[in-house]
Amino acid sequence: MGAGGGKATGYRVCMTLARWASSHAEHLLASLGTRWAHVQVVAEQARRIAGVLPESERDTLIAAAWLHDIGYAPALAITGLHPLDGARHLESIGAGRRLCGLVAHHSGARFEAEERGLAAELAAFEREDSPVMDALVYADMTTGPAGEPVDFEDRIAEILERYPADDPVHRAISRSRPVLAAAVERTARQLAAQPM
């Protein structure tokens, strides 16, 4: 298994990590309607913005985008914290530690883990602060729940509206908002600096 993403069950030498991830995500999420639509657009957004990263990092970003919400698959949803459930599944099938960590910690998951009393469990996966994580957050936080493009503030408002104030997701998004905004802004600056 490579540190940058590694191989997973079903991954072939001729297949990129992102291609395997898209197939695996489809297998797990295609029946989930709008969740699957969201994931597909997040992956497309990741592909679109991947140029802000070195070429060696792009496949990892796109794979993480495909896999970021697999923890919502009914067969995997164990703890109620989808980033943790997704990362545990990936670990169980031999995915690389970095890919597991990106899925585990996407979009401020540590805040929700604290709200749910699962911080120690999530900490089993390394959290990276990097342009790859920033780009993953950007892709997720600029895609609405049914796959529609949204700006960051509208995405946050939609999440806060969807979950009642006493829900762990509502509380976590409220707490993580500055961290998520900073990640989105860093990626937006990189995109703006790219030559047309």
pLDDT in tens, the chain (196 residues): 343 444 444 444 457 999 999 999 999 999 999 999 999 999 999 999 999 999 999 999 999 999 999 999 999 999 999 999 999 999 999 999 999 999 999 999 999 999 999 999 999 999 999 999 999 999 999 999 999 999 999 999 999 999 999 999 999 999 999 999 999 999 999 999 987 6
d(Cα 99, Cα 126) in Å, to the nearest integer?
10
What pLDDT shows up at residue 10? Answer: 47
Question: DSSP 3-state assignment of 57?
Answer: helix
Q: Are 41 and 88 in contact (CB under 8 A)?
A: no
Both tokens assigned to 140: 């997720």
What pLDDT shows up at residue 11? Answer: 43
Q: Which residues contact 4 (CB under 8 A, 6 or more apart)?
A: 56, 57, 60, 96, 98
What pLDDT shows up at residue 194? Answer: 87
What pLDDT shows up at residue 195? Answer: 79
For residue 53, count other CB atoms closer than 10 A to its CB.
21
Check residue 39 and report its DSSP letter.
Answer: H
Report yes or no on whether pTM surpasses 0.85: yes
What pLDDT shows up at residue 172? Answer: 98
* Helical ranges in the chain per DSSP H: 17-29, 34-49, 55-67, 82-92, 97-105, 109-116, 119-122, 131-141, 152-162, 168-193
Q: Are 194 and 135 in contact (CB under 8 A)?
A: no
What pLDDT shows up at residue 60? Answer: 98
d(Cα 101, Cα 127) in Å, to the nearest integer?
6
Q: Which residues contact 92 (CB under 8 A, 6 or more apart)?
A: none
What pLDDT shows up at residue 13? Answer: 46
